[in-house]
Amino acid sequence: MDLNSELGYLAMSLGLHSLGCAPAKDYAGAPEGRRPQDILPGARSVVTFSYRLNNAALDHLPASRNQYMLEFNVVNQILAQASHKIARLLESKGHPSMGLNPEADIGDYSRLKGDFSHKHSAVLCGLGGFGANNLFLANGAGPRVRLASVLTAAELKYSQSEPVNHCSQCGECISRCPAGALKGGQDNFSPRTGWVIDKEKCAHYLFVVNAGKRCGLCVSSCPVGKNRN
């Protein structure tokens, strides 16, 4: 069995929604310090994968915010475990590998930046595309996923494709954003690269108004992926 097939079987056993691979050289356009080789010298491939959130805690926001926070944190833990296990499999085959958690440990929280962009990586790995809400819209699940990645020295078979434009530009996410951080997205977003939302407004709402609790309204309002198992 080749390494990609082993990764596929492991992803299935972990209950992941999707998994894809891209060559590290394709991340040359990332900011300095956030490219695969900057984090893991000798990185040749990136593996990015998703895990689907349950629907109910999202569907009843904002009343279900505490339950959404539980869902958000549990899925992050599942992805952190998955990144460790995928890196362990790759290292067992002789390839130095490093898991990157869904939440940044050292990232600039005041500007909502992590050490590595899982969203952009998911597009490069062929798992979906960006929407006008600047969220990653996964094939078959829309924004109702969380993401994590593994950097590896292994040379894998790559699953790249043109990003699918799942966004209909309906404007639901923009109208429901309580911070007004998504205005202008319909004109400026790209399914491949997204766009830069007003991160200061978003961060202020999350960390000051909501006292650190995630909002989630841009996710719950998006019709893409709703009511899918």
Residue with tokens 């969220």, as numbered in its chain:
135
Instruction: For residue 104, name the pLDDT band (cuts at 50, 70, 90).
Output: low
Q: Are strands 45-52 and 18-23 parallel, antiparallel or unpaired?
A: antiparallel
Instruction: Report pLDDT for 107.
Output: 45
Q: Are strands 18-23 and 97-100 parallel, antiparallel or unpaired?
A: unpaired
Q: What is each CA distance from 209 to 20, 182, 202, 224, in whole angstroms?
A: 36, 17, 10, 27
What is the reported pTM? Answer: 0.92
For residue 194, is pLDDT > 70? yes
What would the two tokens of residue 175 be?
């109208």
Instruction: For residue 71, name the pLDDT band (cuts at 50, 70, 90).
Output: very high
Instruction: For residue 183, name the pLDDT band (cuts at 50, 70, 90).
Output: confident
Residues 167/189, Cβ–Cβ less than 8 Å: yes
| Rounded Cα gap, residues 51 and 197, in angstroms | 24
Amino acid at 15: G
- The pLDDT tens digits for 134-166 are 899 999 999 999 999 999 999 999 977 777 788
Quick check: helix, strand or coil at residue 67? helix
Residue with tokens 């499999």, as numbered in its chain:
89
Instruction: For residue 189, name the pLDDT band (cuts at 50, 70, 90).
Output: confident
For residue 26, is pLDDT > 80? yes
Closest CA to 73 of 29, 46, 103: 103
Q: Rounded to 10 degrees, what is the CA torsion of 74, 126, 154, 83?
A: 0
| Secondary structure element (H or E) that encloses residue 75, with its range | helix 65-92
Average pLDDT, the chain: 90
Which of 6-15, 31-40, 199-208 has the weakest average pLDDT?
Answer: 199-208
SS3 string, 2-19, reads CHHHHHHHHHHHCCCCEE
